[in-house]
Amino acid sequence: MDLEEAREALFAQLVPHSASECIPLAQAQGRITAEVVRAQLPLPPFPASAMDGYALRHQDTANHETFRIVGQSLAGHPYTGSIKVGECARIFTGAVVPDGADLIVLQEQVAEVITDENGDKIVRFVPHEADEDYIRPVGNDVQMGHPMTQPGDRLSPLLLGALAAAGVCEIRVYRRPKVGVFSSGDELRDPGTPPDALTLGQIYDSNRFTLTSLLRHLPIELIALDRLPDDPDAVEEALTEASRRCDMLITSGGVSVGDADFIGATIARLGELSFWRLNLKPGKPLAFGNIGDCWIFGLPGNPVSTIVTCLLLVMPSLQVLCGTIPKPLLRIPATLSSPVSHRPGRAEYQRGIYSQNEPSSSALSVKHTGDQGSNRLSTFAGANCLIEIPKDSGDLAVGADVNILPLSDLLA
Ligand code: AMP
Ligand code: MG
């Protein structure tokens, strides 16, 4: 399967979590809404001034040169009287427009403010034509009852702000699926072990660290799991046990065809293997299946392969499980500024750095980050995109057209 076929197969197979819970808005960032939430009031809830100035009757501007200031309306402190012929109220942005007034004359139009013989304040405006009324009518932003969310919407800071403004304080969201992350391999040691305590052949377990960091912002419950040793019985026992308490398991390593690779075979023995191996570089040995009700991704162990498959396949799959629909991959055309070598066969996702050709132009150029070995985590240093090399492509020269996948989109 190619990448897009695999994504389609995954999205078709995965079933979203249907259980939901009601939580305070303040705890809802990143969660997925399970209901239509409606505005509890119109916004603005009252006719509001859009500017600082004077509220008065439009029809009076034809035959009045001066206006008596009868009060003031500040945000949160309305003038409760009504505006009559020849009167005005001092008003500020966001304040209630008093009854009777239908025009805000901007304070920039004031010629003078004087106090008359009765001690009243009188304003005279520069002669001018009002270009607009500078009044925000009730519901001008949001109508009362407007559907603010649909089931499956992800609660971003911006959406949460809009809901708070619309009087919503609690929201029904899907429960967070439980996701367990394993790594596997006898060579792995915990990060934090002093380097001189590593024996010959040992390396740090970076994948579990990267995977949990990549997934942390998703609306899931991350379950810290152990490392799987290179022993088929121990792998079987650990996967069986974890599959009972998780909705999805993610392993890295041990999924290839080496003598110490047991993950694919164990999934097949304990449950079903939906697919194993993709037409993808890096990421070829990826396995996906289920053990009972628990989905399981066996990701390849090379750190770059782990990351690329997590970005392109695991994170979007988790979005489905969380109750939302993953966006199609964002592909943006760019021109290569470094040559790429590629053998036809598998689509390849190289780490790249894209930039605008000119500060004000939309044209992008992209270069790769050096030798693209799938063990080389350093190929991610400074990278801001993946460069997509189509499967049928051969070597590409400087100037060739490619698509890039911005990491900012993949990580969102
Ligand atoms: P494997 O598929 O288990 O043979 O792993 C492929 C390569 O990735 C080997 O060089 C492993 O040492 C390395 N590797 C596997 N798991 C991890 C991990 N959790 N952290 C860092 N490297 C790993
Ligand atoms: Mg291994």
Tens of pLDDT along 46-91? 999 999 999 999 999 999 999 999 999 999 999 999 999 999 999 9
DSSP state, residue 320? H
How far from 54 is each of 89, 180, 343, CA to CA, in Å? 5, 62, 72
Q: pLDDT-based confidence at 328, cuts 50/70/90?
A: very high
Compute the average pLDDT of residues 275-291.
96
CB-based contacts of 69: which residues, under 8 Å, 6+ apart? 54, 87, 88, 89, 90, 113, 120, 121, 122, 123
pLDDT on residue 224: 82
The rounded mean pLDDT for the chain is 97
Q: pLDDT-based confidence at 18, cuts 50/70/90?
A: confident
Q: pLDDT-based confidence at 109, cuts 50/70/90?
A: very high
Q: Are strands 135-136 and 121-125 parallel, antiparallel or unpaired?
A: unpaired
Q: Probe ligand 1: pick from 184, 212, 252, 308, max atoms within 8 Å of CB?
A: 252
Give me ligand 2 centre to Cα 219, in Å.
30
> Omega into 282 within 30° of 0, i.e. cis?
yes
Look up tokens 């023995």; give the residue: 269
Cα–Cα distance between 326 and 328 in angstroms, integer? 6
Ligand 1 near 187 CB (within 6 A)? yes
pLDDT for residue 260 is more than 90: no
Give me ligand 2 centre to Cα 211, in Å.
16
SS3 label, residue 295: strand
Instruction: Identify whether the C-beta of residue 105 lies closer than 8 Å to the C-beta of residue 90.
Output: no
Helix (H) or strand (E) holding 407: helix 407-410
Q: What percent of the chain has pLDDT over 70?
A: 100
User: CB under 8 Å, gap of 24 or more: what pairs does 158-167 form?
Assistant: 160/25, 160/28, 160/29, 163/25, 163/37, 164/25, 165/43, 166/39, 166/40, 166/41, 166/43, 166/142, 167/39, 167/40, 167/41
CB-based contacts of 127: which residues, under 8 Å, 6+ apart? none
Q: pLDDT-based confidence at 353, cuts 50/70/90?
A: very high
- The closest-lying atom of ligand 1 relative to the alpha carbon of residue 227 is 19
Q: What is the pTM of this model?
A: 0.94
Instruction: Identify whether the C-beta of residue 148 lies closer than 8 Å to the C-beta of residue 163.
Output: yes
Cα–Cα distance between 231 and 300 in angstroms, integer? 17
Compute the average pLDDT of residues 151-162.
98
HSE-CB at 356 with a 13 A cutoff on CA atoms is: 5
CA nearest to 368, candidates 347, 355, 386, 356? 386
